[in-house]
Amino acid sequence: MDVRIESGWKAILAEEFEKAYFTELVFFVKEEYNSRRIYPPGSQVFRSFEFSPYEKTRIVILGQDPYHGPGQAHGLCFSVNDGVPLPPSLRNIYKEIKNDLGLEIPVSGNLQRWATQGILLLNATLTVRDGQPGSHQGKGWEQFTDRVISLLSENKENLVFMLWGSYAQKKGAMIDRSRHLVLEAPHPSPLSVHRGFFGCHHFSKANLYLEKHGLDKVDW
């Protein structure tokens, strides 16, 4: 199957695109876009891979679903388009960065500038119905993104995985922790942020790890 995705990812995921589950997933998603309002826009479904090519990926942040409100989701987990009010979880991420690194909270919630530094902002499920969180779960996306994580773990060295909340931590179970840094904390949502996300210092820890292995720090 010809999937429009960054060339490095296309090469390493070629076998996955030929599997029966992925063919069924594509059929389901196309039908959904034809009959309902689905986020993100179809051209942005694989945007996280576009902005963070396989060869340049050095940090992975895992989300769950795309945002399910108008104008928010654009293919990068936790990120929203310029001009869209900051969602609560993203505001809390920014607060932790301020506490951790002393950086001021940006006006924009667009995390494209992270993605272009090799941060794969990957949702477990890459599409969702308008106003219906979780509506595209269990259709095949999770199997696909599990494979993305396992391929990164198997084929790369010294990656940083940021797993926030129990869902992301379960999804990261296949990561080889002898080869990569896995940072875990509660989810940054208002319901759980005070249970340990604030004060986790993941952003400084990631930069220290990258520097230790001869890699450039991230400009958070």
Active site residues: 65
Q: How many CB atoms lie within 10 A of CB 96?
A: 20
Beta carbons within 8 Å of 50's beta carbon, 6+ residues apart: 5, 6, 75
Beta carbons within 8 Å of 178's beta carbon, 6+ residues apart: none
d(CA 16, CA 150): 12
Phi, psi torsion values for 79, nearest 5 degrees? -95, 150
d(CA 127, CA 158): 29
Place of tokens 């940021």: 162
Tokens of 197: 């996300």
d(CA 85, CA 72): 9
Distance of CA 144 to the CA centre of its chain: 13
Smallest CA-to-CA distance from 128 within 68, 172, 187 is with: 68
Cis omega (within 30 of 0) for bond into 186: no
Strands 128-129 and 38-39: antiparallel
